[in-house]
Amino acid sequence: MTKKQKRKLIRIIVSVILTAIAYFVPTIGWIRLVTFAIPYLIIGYDVLLNAIKGIIHGQLLDEKFLMSIATIGAFATGEYAEGAAVMLFYQVGDLFESMAIGKSRKSIAKLMDIRPEFAILLQDGKEEIVEPDEVKINQTIIVKPGQRIPLDGKIIQGSTSVNTSSLTGESLPVDMQEGDNVISGSINLSGVIQVKVSKEYGQSTVSRILELVENASSKKAKAENFITRFARVYTPCVVVAAILLAIVPPLFIGLSWSEWINRALVFLVVSCPCALVISVPLSFFGGIGGASRQGILIKGSNYLELLSKIDTVVMDKTGTITKGSFTVTAIHPEQVSEKELLSIGALAESCSSHPVAKSIIEAHGEIIDSSRIGEIKEIAGKGVLATIDGTRFYVGNSKIMELSECDCHDCHLNGTIIHIASDSTYFGHIVISDTMKPEAAEAISSMKTLGIKKTVMLTGDKEGTASVIAKEAGVDEYHADLLPEDKVSHLENCMSESNGVAFVGDGINDAPVLMRSDVGIAMGALGSDAAIESADIVLMDDKLTKLPLAISISRKTMSIVRQNICFALIVKGLILLLGALGFANMWIAVFGDVGVMIIAILNAMRAMKAKKPKE
Please list the active-site residues. 316
Q: Is 59 within 8 Å of 72 (Cβ atoms)? A: no
Give the distance, in angstroms, between the CA of residue 269 and the centroid of all CA atoms in the same chain: 36
Q: How far apart are CA 8 and CA 397, in angstroms?
A: 69
Write the DSSP string, 559-576.
HHHHHHHHHHHHHHHHHH
Q: Is 504 within 8 Å of 316 (Cβ atoms)? A: yes
Q: Angle, nearest 10°, between helix axes 222-252 and 274-293? A: 160
Q: How far apart are CA 66 and CA 240, in angstroms?
A: 12
Write the DSSP string, 385-409.
EEEETTEEEEEESHHHHTTSSS---
The dihedral of CA 478, 480, 484, 486: what is its sign? negative
Cα pseudo-dihedral 455, 459, 465, 470, rounded to 10: 0
Q: What angle do CA 415, 420, 421 make, to 5 degrees?
A: 145
How many secondary structure helices (H) and strands (E) does the chain include? 21, 22
CB atoms within 10 A of CB 128: 13
Q: Is 116 within 8 Å of 141 (Cβ atoms)? A: no
Q: Is 556 within 8 Å of 184 (Cβ atoms)? A: no
For 67: left if phi > 0, alpha if psi spans -120 to 50, otherwise beta; the answer is alpha
479 - beta bridge partners?
A: 458
Residues 6+ apart with CB under 8 A from 51: 62, 64, 65, 67, 68, 69
388 - beta bridge partners?
A: 373, 391
Q: How far apart are CA 339 and CA 345, in angstroms?
A: 10
Write the DSSP string, 277-329.
HHHHHHHHHHHHHHHHHTTEEES-HHHHHHHHH--EEEEEIIIIIB----EEE
Q: How far apart are CA 149 and CA 354, in angstroms?
A: 26
Total number of residues shown for the chain? 615
392 - beta bridge partners?
A: 387
Q: Is 346 within 8 Å of 370 (Cβ atoms)? A: no
For 533: left if phi > 0, alpha if psi spans -120 to 50, otherwise beta; the answer is alpha
Q: How far apart are CA 309 and CA 304, in angstroms?
A: 9
Cα radius of gyration (the chain): 32
Q: Is 341 within 8 Å of 351 (Cβ atoms)? A: no
Q: How far apart are the first and last CA of the chain?
A: 35
